[in-house]
Amino acid sequence: MKSFPAPLRAATLCLFPALAGCTLSPSIPVLGAAFPGWFFCLLAGALLLIPCHLLIARRGWQPRFSPLVISYLALMFLFAALFWFLFFT
């Protein structure tokens, strides 16, 4: 029986744990259509960003969040990840 080279065996062994996480994402049925759970997490993150923006604007903290687009996107993804960990894990 022919054996595989050591680097190929190591690469194959490193690939298996990565493939183990490939499962279907949880889906939520809404009016007959199934939406993935991550969609609702991003939607919740965007909705939680509105009061955060109002707080930042009213307190005058915009200079602290220097590129607002990057800061708001980071806050939205932070809220989305928290929502995912709270409701989908």
Q: What is the pLDDT of residue 36?
A: 79
Half-sphere exposure of 67 (CA within 13 A, CB side): 4
Any idea how long the chain is?
A: 89
Q: What is the pLDDT of residue 58?
A: 95
* pLDDT tens profile 34-80: 777 888 889 999 999 999 999 999 999 999 988 989 999 999 999 99
Say if residue 1's pLDDT is above 60: no
In whole angstroms, what is the distance from residue 22 CA to residue 25 CA? Answer: 9
pLDDT band, very low/low/confident/very high, at 25 (cuts 50, 70, 90): low
